Amino acid sequence: MVLILLNSTLKSVDQYICNQMYVGWRKTLTESLHTAYFQGRVYYTLNVLRKDIDNPDQRISQDAERLCKQMSTMASRLIVSPFTLTYYTYHCLHSTGWIGPVSIFGYFVVGTIANKILMGPIVATLFEQEKLEGDFRFKHMQIRVNAESAAFYRAGKVEHMRTNRRLQALLQTQTSLINKELWLYIGVNTFDYLGGFLSYIIIAIPIFTGIYDGLSPGELSALISKNAFVCIYLINGFTQLIDLSTTLSDVAGYTHRIGELREVMEDILHKQCDYDPASGESFDFDSDFNVHAGPVDTAFILDHLSYKSPYSDELLVEDLSLKISQGTHVLVVGNTGTGKTSLLRVLNRLWEAESGFVQMTTCFGPRGTLFLPQKPYLTDGTLREQVIYPLKDIYPASGSVDDDRIIKFLELAGVSSILKRTGGLDEEVDWNWYDVLSPGEMQRLCFARLFYLQPKYAVLDEATSALTEEAEAQLYRTCKQLGMTLVSLGHRSSLEKYHDVQLKLCGGGRWELSWLKGGNSSLNHRDETM
Ligand SMILES: Nc1ncnc2c1ncn2[C@@H]1O[C@H](COP(=O)(O)OP(=O)(O)OP(=O)(O)O)[C@@H](O)[C@H]1O
């Protein structure tokens, strides 16, 4: 009996060794790949981040792609696992009685709990790592965009130090992530190896408790072999599920991060999409999201509007009521920080109003309202694309683009010299427009764009601040000749002569309205219509 047992045990041990050799070989390969992966990850972080610095959408889609790959690995295993587990559970129950499946299930539950405990901190750290990657990328982009200004401040060392600080924070989090993942891998591997021993304990219990005493040596040997096979495969099925925990922790971290980014972006889109940019009509949504057509001769309606900046409790403007209608040019003045640009942010739904009602009743675009922001915005591409921007993208079917008009408006804006530099309207340029144009040229080019698009209403936020008063006069005259109603924000008193009404923001929520032509009669009525 002892010899038979020894013989069958040796056979099983052979089988076990083969199995363990396979498992061991698989693990060694996986571990070396993981080690290489971890070492590479630090370099990967640096290199990928350097290349893929300033494109958040691309970054999200990369994360999503990574997520999809990991999900497909998980899905394939998760689909197959229930079948193999059911099949081997049935055979295990048949071969070893209840003790086999119960101990294996118990072992799996313990393994799952241990993995859950080890996975928790990994998800949080992975999330943190993704966030720090974003911060580092943002800093990198900030330096690229403002390289010249930083150079004038001789700020190379300071910026280098600050960027390094962010990189160090990122690398520290990566190291911490690697350390935490190490414990998870140790847990997973220990579970795998101990599973092999468990199968032999399950087989040994009925043998030593005498359940198989009536069997002949040959039958016992065959039974042990069969039981070992079934148990090992059942354990292996569970092991594969536990192995998924490493992938699962990555998936959970990425999902959390992508989910958060998507929520923020959807929130922004939801706030911005109250009117249809491609439509020639004007629309507004009421609180129940019903659409109403707005008045046609009015660009903006402000009704008892109060607003403040997001990080302050003090109101910038309180209880402002105003209608801006066609033909009445409005100048918004006030000291620095009194909320002039913030008014445009509220009008554009970039900021929420604190109370009151604000409505932009015309569409955004050539037939409605266009904004020239304080910082000129130039796109990449040819000179034609700069001038017609954003016509090509938003209104692809708007008709042929007229070369003579573009050249004429470049001349009127005083930047026909750029045409000589580029060598033509459609010549591809390999420079960054922000690097080669002076601030004044950028502002003039934006005016050429405005002339070309010829909106009904032009909102100009300190759009001539880098130009002389003569240049300013010429540009304003052209705007008026082209039939635009102007809403200007600025500090210069020279602007007054081009406007009919002045809205002065006095700070602390106070404001004053006055006529600029025909005396200084006060318009401090709450519901004044202009
Ligand atoms: N993105 C922002 N987040 C939080 N607060 C902001 C933001 N932008 C501006 N602010 C704050 O809101 C207040 C009003 O700013 P705003 O840009 O409207 O001033 P402004 O009157 O246009 O000044 P300026 O004449 O210098 O252009 C300021 O105190 C400013 O610090």
For the chain, domains (ranges, CATH) are: 82-275 (1.20.1560.10), 298-515 (3.40.50.300)
pLDDT greater at residue 59 or residue 262: 262
Token readout for 465 is 């601040």
Q: How far apart are CA 415 and CA 448, in angstroms?
A: 8
Please state the φ and ψ torsions of residue 299, each to the nearest 5 degrees: -90, -45
Which residue has better confidence, 473 or 289? Answer: 473
**Residue that is written with structure tokens 């708007």 in the block:** 398
C-beta of residue 303 within 8 angstroms of C-beta of residue 357: yes
Give 60's pLDDT tier (boundaries 50, 70, 90): low
Mean of pLDDT values over 91-100: 78
Residue 407 alpha carbon to ligand 1 centre in Å: 36
Beta strands across the sheet bearing 298-308 = 315-325, 298-308, 355-360
CA of 460 to the centre of ligand 1 (A): 16
Ligand 1 atom closest to 345 (CA): 18
Spacing, Cα 262 to ligand 1 middle (Å): 27
The reported pLDDT for the residue numbered 174 is 92
Is the predicted ipTM greater than 0.85, yes or no?
A: yes
Q: Which of 312, 331, 332, 341 to mutate to test the pocket of ligand 1 (most atoms within 8 A of CB)?
A: 341
Shortest-distance atom of ligand 1 to CA 505 = 21
Atom of ligand 1 at shortest range from CA of 337 = 19
Q: How far apart, in whole angstroms, are the C-alpha atoms of residue 19 and residue 230? A: 12
Asked whether 119 and 248 are in contact (CB, 8 A), the reply is: yes
Closest ligand 1 atom, residue 489 Cα: 22
Q: Strand order of the sheet with strand 510-515? A: 369-372, 457-461, 485-489, 330-334, 501-507, 510-515
Residue nearest to atom 28 of ligand 1 (CA): 337
Among 34-43, 89-98, 146-155, 367-376, name the one with the lowest average pLDDT: 34-43
Question: Looking at the chain, how many residues does it have?
Answer: 530
Q: For residue 12, report the distance from its CA to the centre of ligand 1, in Å.
A: 77
State percent of the chain over pLDDT 90: 25
DSSP secondary structure of 290-319:
-EEEPPSSEEEEEEEEEEE-TT-SSEEEEE
Q: 308 C-alpha to center of ligand 1: Å? A: 9
Q: What is the pLDDT of residues 294-323, one digit of tens each?
A: 444 788 889 899 999 988 889 999 999 988
Q: What is the rounded distance in angstroms from the CA atom of residue 323 to the CA atom of residue 530? A: 6
- Express each pLDDT in 137-164 by its tens digit: 999 988 888 887 888 888 888 899 999 9
Residues with CB under 6 A from ligand 1: 309-311, 316, 334, 336-342
- State the pLDDT confidence band at 502, using cuts at 50, 70 and 90: very high
Residue 363 CB neighbours (<10 A): 21
Residue nearest to atom 5 of ligand 1 (CA): 309
Is 355's pLDDT higher than 70? yes
Round to whole Å and give the CA distance between 255 and 70: 11
CA 62 – CA 154 distance, rounded (Å): 36
pLDDT above 90: residue 412: yes
How far is ligand 1, taken at its centre, from the CA of residue 337, in Å? 5
DSSP string, 2-32: HHHHHHHHHHHHHHHHHHHHHHHHHHHHHHH
pLDDT of residue 351: 86
How much is the mean pLDDT over the chain? Answer: 77
Q: Are strands 369-372 and 510-515 parallel, antiparallel or unpaired?
A: unpaired
Residue nearest to atom 26 of ligand 1 (CA): 336
- Ligand 1 atom closest to the Cα of residue 308 is 12
State the distance from the centre of ligand 1 to the C-alpha of 422, rounded, in angstroms: 36
Please state, in angstroms and rounded to a whole number, the distance separating the CA atoms of residues 30 and 32: 6
Q: What share of the chain is helix, strand, coil (3-state, %, to 5)?
A: 60, 15, 25
Ligand 1 atom nearest to 342, measured from its CA: 18
pLDDT of 199 higher than 70 = yes
What is the C-alpha separation between 186 and 209, in angstroms, rounded? 34
pLDDT at 18: 42
CB atoms within 10 A of CB 263: 10
Average pLDDT over residues 60-74: 69
Centre of ligand 1 to C-alpha 341, Å, is 7
pLDDT of residue 283: 36
Predicted pLDDT of residue 305: 92
Q: Which tokens hold the place of 199?
A: 């199968």
Q: Is the pLDDT of residue 368 over 90?
A: no
Q: Which tens digits make up the pLDDT trace of 35-45?
A: 444 444 444 44
User: Which atom of ligand 1 is nearest the CA belonging to 462?
Assistant: 27
Closest C-alpha to ligand 1, atom 19 = 337
203-261 tens-digit pLDDT? 787 778 777 777 788 887 887 787 777 777 777 777 777 777 667 777 777 777 778 87
The separation between CA 33 and the C-alpha centre of its own chain, rounded to angstroms, equals 30
- Report the range of poorest mean pLDDT among 135-139, 225-229, 368-372, 478-482: 225-229
Q: Which two tokens stand for residue 69?
A: 């790959």
What local confidence, expressed as pLDDT, does residue 473 receive?
94
Long-range contacts of 409-414 (CB under 8 A, 24+ apart): 409/448, 409/451, 409/452, 410/383, 410/448, 412/448, 412/451, 412/474, 412/478, 413/444, 413/445, 413/447, 413/448, 413/451, 413/475, 413/478, 414/444, 414/471, 414/474
pLDDT of residue 343: 92
What are the beta bridge partners of residue 330?
487, 501
Q: Whose CA is nearest to atom 12 of ligand 1?
A: 309
More confident of the two residues 27 and 169:
169
Q: Identify which of 311, 340, 344, 462 to mutate to test ligand 1's pocket (most ligand atoms within 8 A of the CB).
A: 340
How far is 98 from 341, CA to CA, in rounded Å? 75
When mean pLDDT is compared across 3-12, 116-125, 449-458, the lowest value belongs to 3-12
Distance CA 368, CA 282 (A): 9
Q: Which residues of 449-485 are buried (b: 16+ CB within 10 A; e: fewer)?
A: bbbbbbbbbbbbbbbbebbeeebbbbbbebbeebebb
- Residue 311 alpha carbon, nearest atom of ligand 1: 4
Lowest mean pLDDT among 355-364, 453-462, 483-492: 355-364
CA angle 306, 307, 310 (to 5 degrees): 155
| 304 CA from centroid of ligand 1 (Å) | 21
Distance 380 CA to ligand 1 centre (A): 28
Q: Which residue has the tokens 């006069």?
A: 473
Query: Which is nearest to 130 in space by CA: 63, 71, 58, 35?
Result: 63
Cα 271 to the chain's mean position, in Å? 16
pLDDT value of position 244:
75
Q: Which residue has the higher pLDDT, 343 or 200?
A: 343
Residue 284, strand partner residues: 292
Nearest-angstrom CA–CA distance, 320 and 306? 7
Q: How far is CA 172 from CA 54, 133, 140, 176, 516, in A?
A: 23, 12, 18, 6, 60
Q: Which tokens in the block code for residue 152?
A: 């004038």
Residue 316 Cα to ligand 1 middle (Å)? 9
What backbone torsions phi and psi does residue 527 show, to the nearest 5 degrees?
Answer: -110, 35
Average pLDDT over residues 180-184: 87
Q: Say how many Å lie between the CA of residue 312 and the centre of ligand 1.
A: 11
Mutate to test the pocket of ligand 1, among 315, 317, 336, 342 (most ligand atoms within 8 A of CB): 342
Task: Give 342 Cα–ligand 1 centroid separation in angstroms.
Answer: 6
Of 11-25, 181-195, 267-281, 497-511, minimum mean pLDDT range:
11-25
The backbone region for 389, taken as left when phi is positive above 0, alpha when psi lies in -120 to 50, beta otherwise, is beta
